[in-house]
Structure 1
């Protein structure tokens, strides 16, 4: 190091397991095995980008990650920032990246870059993408451009906002897309470019040990009379998200069950289409969005069912009443200005 050179920025890397850490043993099928340090050591040029501090946070398939785990991870990241880290990178299984990134985006305070990544091809396969994805994620986390963008997801050299990203394919390396927005940036020749910045930063504060209430996600289909909705209260659910047709429409046969449920717990109206906003005042036929919202259902805005379920879960965990929950959805689901809930 010369007298004029600057030390590499500190980036803290938290490994949770998943495909990027999975290798095949004697039996068919890959299992999370590689440690955080193993993965860091496999990436050529990583130490040229940042001073990477590796942490083995978990070693598990991503369906096993819980909201309680993510609260602990938020606090671990905050501790690393207090020690001088300028950003954090998380790798995990891709099955739940769109959900964990969204939760962290809501839980985390401040503007420090947090980048979530992973792999679609495990290290036992030709063309494994994990090392390249980790390198790109560290480059993004270390870049001043990433400050204030919220939690992002970086795979396949694309940068996506946590609020909009979704996994669209079971096995393609280009599985992560943002249907309503597209990527907010990209990585080219090791240089991150952030071209778009989502409006608003939304923070819900949950303490460690907060009880996480169960929230159901129900997708409606043709001819569905909604009879399953009548079972949810007895099963202990505290809230429900209904993925309705199109802009927010349900069969007439389901309306009595919906009305009864809305009188018992918060019910969020989302669209099963996966893109666009739930309508508010376009249609007035029976089962239309106007009738459902007049019943007291909460409009999900641009959030899909998966993310609406997570936001409702956090609202309930934070003790928000129905009016505050509706305001939170209006803010997060329509990307308005910054709020703290």
Structure 2
């Protein structure tokens, strides 16, 4: 299948072969859970320069900035990349997953991944889909750099370690942010700069962290359907419906060799008539299409029978994305294309609108 594209140039390739590994010494190592931290870059690892902020801090730097971490866990750390969240790709996600599995094989009781916020929810979902680990994996980041006033980096990193080592959090992938713990499948970034940038609009957080402890609102567990692929080079394009959008975007994607398409439809998962006709043509040519909604919450529904209506598209073979965010549906479709022996098998990884 077609590749996803070149990785970002800022430091990512330098970490592909030999990540830095550090074990922080503690006299009470055997008395505390072992947590392995995988650093990938992002705002949490960024510092300013004359060209603007960029990730430059190592995983070791992050741990040293929060001394309280050592009272909760025995920590080891490695840096697998130094890229901003918007430059993370499937290869970076897969590498973090491989290192998480290796850490568990080495005896880690939990894994924490530090990450840029722009695509943090996508990486968490990628890990949840591809890795069935017997320990929790908690992804976190920051909206403000460590050098900025009221940085949320220390609090988020501490929250991630606290959640990862809690006795009730046994497995699954989560996002810890602004003293909330979210399931990887449900969480979305909902604000560009507020500290409370991550929410789970449909189901709410798994837990809330306070000074006194962690209050659970529902059972912590993976909410994702496992996909037997740990990396992918499938090319999945996204198309957004809006007033007056035609089918040119779909036609270009198909002509350029897209392996699959995700449609971010309006409302319940609808498209303009012209876009809808192009989507049906794409499916007729053998390109699988997942239908989602561009709304921030809610699920798709097969209601409207007009040329671009959700019922028309699903009757023609579009896969219902349910309440998956469009960008998460893209992650899942890319992995499903890798795992499926035939294109016709892809829909089985989207078993029903609520997964």
Same fold (TM over 0.5): yes
How high is the TM-score relative to the length of structure 1? Answer: 0.90
**1:62-211 paired onto structure 2 within 5 Å:** 62-148=85-171, 150-189=172-211, 191-197=213-219, 200-207=223-230, 211=232
In the other structure, the counterpart of 1:338 is: none
User: Do structure 1's residue 319 and structure 2's residue 319 form an aligned pair?
Assistant: no
| 1:212 matches 2:212 | no
Contact 1:300/1:330 (<8 A) preserved: no
36, 53, 58: which one aligns with 1:12 = 36
Aligned residue number for residue 239 of structure 1: 260
Matches within 5 A, 1:265-276: 265-276=287-298
Could you tell me whether the CA contact under 8 Å between 2:267 and 2:295 is conserved in 1? yes
How far 1:32 sits from its partner (Å)?
A: 1.2
- Provide the C-alpha distance between the structure 1 equivalents of 2:84 and 2:64, rounded to a whole number of angstroms: 21
Aligned length: 326
Task: Work out whether 1:334 is the aligned partner of 2:354.
Answer: yes
Q: CA deviation at 1:44?
A: 2.6
Q: Which residue of 1 aligns with 2:56?
A: 33
Where structure 2 has 5 or more consecutive residues not aligned to the other structure, the ranges are 1-27
RMSD, aligned CA: 2.0
SS at structure 1 position matched to 2:331: helix
| Cα offset, 1:28, TM superposition | 5.7
Cα shift at 1:180: 0.8
Q: What CA distance in whole angstroms lies between the structure 2 residues aligned with 1:146 and 1:103?
A: 19
- Stretches of structure 1 that go unaligned for 5 or more consecutive residues are 336-341
- Spell out, residue by residue over 1:146-166, the C-alpha distance to the aligned partner (whole angstroms, 9 max, x if none): 113x21000110011111111
Q: 2:30 & 2:289 partners in 1: Cα distance?
A: 53
Three-state SS of the structure 1 residue aligned to 2:269 is coil
- Contact kept, 8 Å, 2:280 with 2:316, in 1: the verdict is yes
User: In the TM superposition, what whole-angstrom CA distance separates every residue of 1:284-330 from its partner, at most 9, and x where no partner exists?
Assistant: 34432221111111111111211111111111121353443212112
Q: Distance in 1 between matches of 2:222 and 2:147?
A: 40
Over residues 191-231 of structure 1, what are the superposed CA-to-partner deviations in whole Å (9 max), with x where a residue is unaligned? Answer: 23332136754222225xx5511100100111122222111
Asked whether the equivalents of residues 142 and 156 of structure 2 are also in contact (C-alpha less than 8 Å), the reply is: yes
Deviations 1:218-273 (A, max 9, x none): 00111122222111122121110111111122222333312211112001111111
Map 1:288-327; keep pairs closer than 5 Å.
Answer: 288-327=309-348
Q: What is the aligned partner in structure 1 of residue 18 from structure 2?
A: none
Structure 2 CA distance for aligned equivalents of residues 320 and 249 of structure 1? 29
Distance 2:341 2:315 in 1: 21
CA contact (8 A) 1:18 1:61 kept: yes
The 1:190/1:80 distance shift into structure 2, 3 A limit, reads farther
Q: Deviation above 4 Å: which 4+ runs of structure 1?
A: 198-201
Please give the alpha-carbon distance, in whole angstroms, between the structure 2 residues aligned to 1:36 and 1:86: 18
Structure 2 Cα separation of the partners of residues 40 and 50 of structure 1 = 11
